[in-house]
Amino acid sequence: MSETTILVATEGAVRTLTLNRPAALNSFTAQMHGELLPALDAAAADPAVRAVVVTGAGRGFCAGQDLADPAMAGNGDVGAVIERWYRPLAMRVRTMPVPVIAAVNGVAAGAGANFALCCDVVVAAKSASFIQAFSKIGLVPDCGGTWLLPRLVGRARALGLAMSGDKLPAEEAERIGLIWQCVPDDRFAAEVSALATKLSQMPSRALAETRRALDAAMAMEFADALTLEADTQRELGRGADFAEGVAAFLAKRPPVFRDR
Ligand code: T3D
C-alpha cells in the first residue's frame, strides 16, 4: 500500500477530492478506488458539505484504469473489475445529494474521461483533453460512457469519439456540448472555486432532484415527464428551502438554504 491516493480538502461548504497518483496520470488502481468511494460517501454523509469538486494532481486529470495494476486484473474477468469498482463509482457520483463538479485539469482518458462526464458539471482547463481510449485496447466505453456519450453529443459524435479513440481538446469538448465549460489555464482554479462556492450556496436538495428528474425524463414520454415534474415540485414545495427562497426573494435579501 503506497501513500494516500485521494487528497481531501474542505473550504467552507466545498469538499475537494484530488486524485493523487500524478506519476501515472492519476490512473485508477484498486487502492485509489478503495479510497475514492469512501471519500465520496463521507462527503455525501456530511451535512456541512454542499458541493464536491473532483480534480487531479499534476498535469493529468485521470488516465482511466491503471493498466499495470495487478490488483485490478480481476482474474482475467474485466467485467468483474467493472462491477466491483466502476459501477459503484458511477452510481455514487450520480446519486450524490449535492452537486459534483469535475475540474478537469489535464488529460482525461478512458474511465477517467467518463468518470468526469458522470459528474454534474464539467469544467476543463483549455490545455485539458478527453480521450475515449477504450477502442485502442479492444474494449467499449465504460464507467457510464455508453449511456452518457450519445446523450451528451448525439450518436454520430459518440461513435466517432468512441471508435477513433482520438484526443478531443477541451475547447472542442465545450463546443460540441460534451462538457459545460472550457476556461483558460490561468483562470481555471479561480473559475472552479467560484462555481463550487456558488453551487454550495444553492438549494442542494433541489439541485440533486434536478439531476434525478433530468436523467429520468430521458427515458420518459412527455406526459410522464410532466407528471414527474409535478410530483417533484410537490415534494420540494413542502421543503424549507422553497419557503426560504420565496421569503428571501420577497424580502430582497440573500437566501440561506439548508435542506439536503
Ligand atoms: O480491467 C480493466 O482494464 C477494465 C477497465 C477499463 C477502464 C479503462 O479506463 S480502459 C482505458 C485505460 N486507459 C488508457 O488506455 C489510457 C492509457 N494512457 C494513454 O493513452 C496516455 O498515457 C495518455 C494519452 C492518457 C497521456 O499521454 P501522455 O503522452 O501525455 O503521457 P504518457 O507518457 O503516456 O503517460 C505518463 C505516465 O503515466 C507514463 O508512465 P512513465 O512512462 O512516465 O513511467 C505512463 O505509462 C503512465 N500512464 C498513463 N496512463 C496510464 C499509465 N499507467 C498505467 N495505466 C494507465 N492507464
Write out pLDDT tens, residues 100-111.
Answer: 999 999 999 999
Q: Kindly tell me if the per-residue pLDDT of 1 is higher than 70.
A: no
CA of 226 to the centre of ligand 1 (A): 44
30 close to ligand 1 (CB < 6 Angstrom)? no
Q: Taking CA 258 as the corner, what is the angle to CA 252 and CA 259, rounded to the nearest 5 degrees?
A: 120
**Interval 138-153 mean pLDDT:** 98
Q: What are phi and psi of 21, to 5 degrees?
A: -135, 60
CA-nearest residue for atom 38, ligand 1, is 24
Q: Kindly tell me if the per-residue pLDDT of 118 is higher than 80.
A: yes
Question: What pTM value is reported for the model?
Answer: 0.97
Q: What are phi and psi of 109, to 5 degrees?
A: -125, 150
3-class SS string, the chain: CCCCCEEEEEECCEEEEEECCHHHCCCECHHHHHHHHHHHHHHHHCCCCCEEEEEECCCEEECCECCCCHHHCHHHCHHHHHHHHHHHHHHHHHCCCCCEEEEECCEEECHHHHHHHHCCEEEEECCCEEECHHHHHCCCCCCCHHHHHHHHHCHHHHHHHHHHCCEEEHHHHHHCCCCCEEECHHHHHHHHHHHHHHHHCCCHHHHHHHHHHHHHHCCCCHHHHHHHHHHHHHHHHCCHHHHHHHHHHHHCCCCCCCCC
CA of 162 to the centre of ligand 1 (A): 17
Quick one: 211 exposed, middle or buried, by C-beta within 10 A (0-12, 13-18, 19+)?
middle
If you search the block for the grid coordinates 472542442, which residue do you land on? 172
pLDDT of the residue at 75: 65
Can you tell me which atom of ligand 1 is nearest the CA of 107? Answer: 25
pLDDT of the residue at 98: 98
pLDDT of the residue at 46: 98
CA of 191 to the centre of ligand 1 (A): 28
CA-nearest residue for atom 30, ligand 1, is 107
Percent of the chain with pLDDT over 70: 98
Report which of 23, 39, 31, 35 is spatially closest to residue 70, judged by C-alpha positions. Answer: 31
Q: Which residue has the higher pLDDT, 3 or 10?
A: 10
Q: pLDDT band at 260, cuts 50/70/90?
A: confident
CA of 147 to the centre of ligand 1 (A): 23
pLDDT digits (tens, 9 = 90+) for 71-97: 766 567 899 999 999 999 999 999 999
Percent of the chain with pLDDT over 90: 95
What fold does the segment set 204-251 form as a domain? Lyase 2-enoyl-coa Hydratase; Chain  A, domain 2 (1.10.12)
pLDDT of the residue at 74: 56
What the block records as the C-alpha cell of 213 is 428528474
144 close to ligand 1 (CB < 6 Angstrom)? no
Q: Please answer whether residues 259 and 240 qualify as being in contact, where contact means their C-beta atoms are separated by less than 8 angstroms.
A: yes
CA of 259 to the centre of ligand 1 (A): 41
**Residue spans per domain, the chain:** 6-200, 204-251
**Interval 47-68 mean pLDDT:** 98
Mutate to test the pocket of ligand 1, among 5, 20, 21, 25 (most ligand atoms within 8 A of CB): 25
Q: Kindly tell me if the per-residue pLDDT of 44 is higher than 70.
A: yes
68 close to ligand 1 (CB < 6 Angstrom)? yes
pLDDT digits (tens, 9 = 90+) for 156-190: 999 999 999 999 999 999 999 999 999 999 999 99
Quick one: 58 exposed, middle or buried, by C-beta within 10 A (0-12, 13-18, 19+)?
middle
User: Which CATH code for domain 6-200?
Assistant: 3.90.226.10
pLDDT of the residue at 105: 99
What the block records as the C-alpha cell of 151 is 446523450
d(CA 240, CA 51): 19
pLDDT of the residue at 198: 98
